[in-house]
Amino acid sequence: MQYSLSRLVAILHRNHAMYINRALKMWGISSGEIGFLMTLYQQEGCTQEQLCSLLAIDKAAATRALTSLENKGYIQRQVDARDKRCKCIHLTDKAKELRQDITGEVRAWNGKASELVGEETYQMICENLQTILLHETSEQNHEC
């Protein structure tokens, strides 16, 4: 049987989005927003541009997700002391209090996948996907 990597990745992505939407529904956080929260949990104080780059998300999608998170009380934007043109994104106390619960739900998906195929295979899959991603990103940058 021949598999299509892009098809399988797309299906996994949709399944993951549905899982995240269900798991984080009680906090009103969607699959389109969770990447920003998870990144800010690791690197609080990023600018919107930095978040776009880290997550490989366009500015319009980032603006929508960050505005939604701000309206829900999870983030706040503060003018950067070094560059008044930039706004740094910071977590609110509400987001910080929920960090363990939210990250636990997000990591549960990866944990289930790891259990299903075994840790060694899971790591190998992730490494191979990362290699493909880096190569494809490099190829796209050369086309510009």
pLDDT score for 98: 97
pLDDT level of residue 137 (50, 70, 90 thresholds): low
Structure tokens at 5: 């990597």
Structure tokens at 16: 């993951």
Mean pLDDT of 94-122: 96
pLDDT score for 139: 57
Q: Whole-model pTM? A: 0.85
Q: Where are the alpha helices (DSSP H) in the chain?
A: 5-23, 31-42, 48-55, 59-71, 93-97, 99-117, 119-143
pLDDT level of residue 82 (50, 70, 90 thresholds): confident
pLDDT score for 80: 80
Judged against a pLDDT cut of 90, whether residue 102 lies above it is answered with: yes
**Is CATH 2.130.10.10 the classification given to domain 5-143?**
no
C-alpha dihedral, 4 to 32 to 57 to 134, nearest 10°: -40
Long-range contacts of 45-53 (CB under 8 A, 24+ apart): 45/88, 45/89, 45/90, 46/88, 46/89, 47/80, 47/86, 47/87, 47/88, 47/89, 48/87, 48/89, 49/86, 51/89
Judged against a pLDDT cut of 70, whether residue 60 lies above it is answered with: yes
pLDDT tens per residue, range 43-57: 999 999 999 999 989
pLDDT level of residue 81 (50, 70, 90 thresholds): confident
Q: Tell me which of 67-71, 84-88, 102-106 is least confident.
A: 84-88
**Residues whose CB is less than 8 angstroms from the CB of residue 56 and which lie 6 or more positions away in sequence, other chains included:** 137
**Greatest C-alpha distance within the chain:** 57
Mean pLDDT of 76-94: 90
pLDDT score for 85: 83
